[in-house]
Structure 1
Amino acid sequence: MKRVLVSSFDMEVGGVERSLVSMLNNFDYDKHQVDLMLYSHSGEFMNLLNKHAHLLDEVRAYKTFRLTIGDTIKRGEVMLASARLLAKCKAAWNKSPETGYKQMQYMWKYSLPFLPKADKEYDIAISYLWPHYFIAYKVKAKQKIAWIHTDFSTVDTDVEMDLAMWDQFNHIVAVSDGCRASFITKYPSLAKKVLVIENITSPELVTNLAAENEENLMKRDHRFKIITVARFSYAKGIDQAINALKLLKDKGVRDIAWYVVGYGGDQAELEKLVASHGLHDSFIFLGKKTNPYPYMKEADLYVQPSRYEGKAVTVGEAQILGKPVVITNYPTAESQVTHGVNGYICELSVQGIADGIYELYTNELMRRSISTRCKNTDYRNTEELKKLYTIM
């Protein structure tokens, strides 16, 4: 029996976490003894973890990555707090609109000397969420595999640091063909290491959860209802969604409402933007939901206004529920949606999002056609795990 270690940050509500739950639920435990290393035992999805995967105890030092610098100091981890502060200062010089990626890299780089190594040796070690420094530098394994869930060609990272880290892995798994293509555009020397294994989806689970009789205000709203499920971050483009709805209202579209299930650090700014446009009654934040599917079920249209994605888990789940979807034309979009067939790909801009929504809002025939195609598609893909077993 092969000894496998899987690592990730926590089990907060999110697409990566949902895909991890699905992978662990479909793993072959007859042939693999699986340990799961979560830096923080937190998040609404903790109770969804498969009992066959042995959850390792929290390690105090790694827990700090989900704490503030102040709380890290209070826990007595002064060197790790100093490393975090140094990383924050260095990343502040970055002129990119999103400094978080480089800050995460620097945080790990400066923290590494103060982080403990794993106390077991494994046959296979899988790092499920970037940055992959724990598996790369703190775990001894015969084979190491790293997962990528985003479009790396669009995010600002320290390439030299990245290449040194990627060099520690035997294989790199991308969640879509587009995700792989964008990755090797940035790191062409790694092309031979990268293969595609799509996120594992369970149509039965999504459908059953959508059928739960959860009371929500969308049921009482008779307007044309849009829904988005996402974390509130620059990448997900919720600000673009708010501005697009403003354009639609200015165009005279009155009977439309946009609901968002999610949470994140950008919420206060997004709420201010909603208020400045006078959209408080039509752009509605539903908060964090462990089960977003009853809300998806009530919607007329699912919209993903992202600036970049690897492969959006929520888009696939909306398709499982037979919802017409609109996604922006980020580089990996065509890996998930065939325009006009099982969804609609709009221009990646505020105007493009507004135009895409307006076309489907006014074209019921197109909405029905896309919905029918989605309902008639089998999204079950547990066979994808065979690719993982092959390289393992």
Structure 2
Amino acid sequence: MKLLFVVNNFNFGGPQKSLVNLLYELEGHGIEADLMIMNQQDKLSSYLPDYVNEVPIHSKYSLLMLDKSKIIKNIISNIDKPIFILKVLLFILKSKLKLQDNTKAKQNFWVNNKWNTSEFEKTYDFAIGVSGGHSVYFIQDYINAKHKIGWIRTDYKVLKRNHDLDYQYFKKMSGMLAVSNMTAKRFEEIFNIKPSVFYNSLPIKLYENIESENFNTDSKYMNLCTICRLDNGKGLDLLIEAAKILKKQKIKFNWYIVGTGKLEEWLKEQILKNNLEKLVLPIGFKFNTGNVLKKMDILVHPSRFEGKSNTIDEALYYEIPVVATNFETVYEQIVDGENGFITNMNGNEIANRIIELCEDEQLYKKIKSELHNNKRVPENKGKEFISILYQLGDNK
């Protein structure tokens, strides 16, 4: 079976790590797999299994999706397309002046400026737009495949996209995948298209194939961690609120923040402003988050929305109690009071649940026991994925 996976970017992130792990699990199933990266950000490429072939694509596609990374270099590389470059520069100007809704404007830009010829000659059995959005547009407009599959990774209603334009692409797919029951339900409500649910592949095999990074904790403290992009929607303000309360209550804790993102400087400022520098510890990017989780007492996940949290699934696998906010998909992962706690979206409730786990040894042991007795052993996701592809292909 010839498969093509298309991603918007292939930098370090939960969906990308899940894809790499899925590729490991597809090995030995008679798969020939190609990967295309639309914006050439390929930090994860060195972790790909040997049988996967990365197919380079021209930087013009990165400009067509108006990706900010390397934009000057990409403009120079495409200087032989002056009208197209002028349109890109005009878009950037409008964006800087806040004259447009960028999300919808990017969709329109693709549709209005795409070219009608394709340099990709190979025909695939299945082409999968892994990142939704532009990756789905790309496989529909430029790839030859018997079947084309879109993959939805978050609650579609929060994306603020042009649904009518997306529908023109989605209705042409052989099928859609969603990462959780809730994301599938939301998608069906909006588009009247029912996706197949395929939960993310936990990157356990991936972690087994790489060296662990050195990471040490202090057993005299309660070791908490939050693993996320430092980005809007991840509840970092709630984290700071909760940490202030823990400090005031004289809880002995170290709270490790794993990740990078646009709120990195904001987070550092908030830590200094609230005198939390010895307690809240940003440690940057760690690829092997499993290695971090194994040394933690509690995972705290204060997000405002998620398609489905890979981090929570990893914590449950490593038998780490979770305190998470009540975003909609959390109920597919956490049973409140059994394998963790679900709180409202405020720092006070998050802190209170952490304090309970710190101070009530019996409660903590009960949750650890529940996690051990009901450990979710990763299934053969490669076999499941192939089965779903065949079902979607047969339905079309």
Q: Give the structure-1-normalised TM-score.
A: 0.86
Asked whether the 8 Å contact 2:10–2:44 carries over to 1, the reply is yes
Shift of 1:372: 2.3
Q: CA deviation at 1:242?
A: 1.8
1:189 aligns with 2:192: yes
From 155, 162, 168, the equivalent of 1:158 is 162
Match of 2:345 in 1: 348
**Structure 1's 8 and 347: CA in aligned 2 closer, same or farther, altered over 3 A?**
same
Instruction: Work out whether 1:168 is the aligned partner of 2:172.
Output: yes
User: For residue 200 of structure 1, what is the aligned residue in structure 2?
Assistant: 201
Distance 1:115 1:328 in 2: 47
Aligned-pair CA distance for 1:390: 3.1
Point out where structure 2 has 5 or more consecutive residues left out of the alignment: none
Q: Which residue matches 1:372?
A: 369
Q: Paired residue for 2:148?
A: 144
Query: Partner amino acid for 1:155?
Result: L
Structure 1: which 5+ runs fail to align? none
Give 1:248 deviation, angstroms.
2.8
- Within 2, Cα distance between the matches of 1:320 and 1:339? 17
C-alpha distance in 2 between matches for 1:247 and 1:318: 24
Aligned to 2:300: 303
- Alignment partner for residue 258 of structure 1, among 255, 259, 282? 255
Instruction: Say if 1:346 and 1:355, in contact at 8 Å, map to a contact too.
Output: no
Indicate the percent of aligned positions where both proteins have the same amino acid.
26
> Shift of residue 41 of structure 1?
4.7
Q: CA deviation at 1:353?
A: 2.5
Contact 1:62 1:115 in 2 (8 A): no
Aligned 1:207-226 pairs, distance under 5 A = 208=208, 214-216=213-215, 218-220=216-218, 222-226=220-224
Q: CA shift at 1:311, angstroms?
A: 1.1
- Per the TM alignment, residue 49 of structure 1 is displaced from its structure 2 partner at its CA by 0.8
Q: Flag the 1:37–1:352 CA change in 2: closer, same or farther, 3 A.
A: same
Which residues in structure 2 correspond to 1:8-87 (within 5 Å)?
Answer: 8-27=7-26, 30-64=29-63, 65=67, 67-77=69-79, 79-80=84-85, 82-83=87-88, 85-86=90-91
SS at match of 2:328: coil
For residues 58 and 362 of structure 1, the distance between their equivalents in structure 2, rounded to whole angstroms, comes to: 55
Report the counterpart of residue 119 of structure 1 in structure 2.
121
Q: How many residues align?
A: 380
Q: Is the 8 A contact 1:178 1:334 kept in 2?
A: no
Which amino acid in 1 is paired with 2:349?
G
TM-score computed with the length of structure 2 as normaliser:
0.85
Q: 1:106 to 1:80 in 2, by over 3 A?
A: farther
Task: From 224, 229, 232, give the equivalent of 2:230.
Answer: 232
Please list the CA deviations of residues 270-321 of structure 1 after superposition, one character each: whole Å capped at 9, or x if unmatched: 2222222221221111111122222212211001111111111111111111
Structure 1 CA distance for aligned equivalents of residues 113 and 335 of structure 2: 43
- Is contact 1:117–1:139 with CA below 8 Å preserved after alignment? no
Deviations for 1:115-136, whole angstroms, at most 9, x for unmatched residues? Answer: 9553323221101002122112
1:319 aligns with 2:322: no
> Aligned partners of 2:360 and 2:85: how far apart in 1?
55
Aligned residue number for residue 131 of structure 2: 129
Cα separation, partners in 2 of 1:278 and 1:293, compared to 1, 3 Å: same
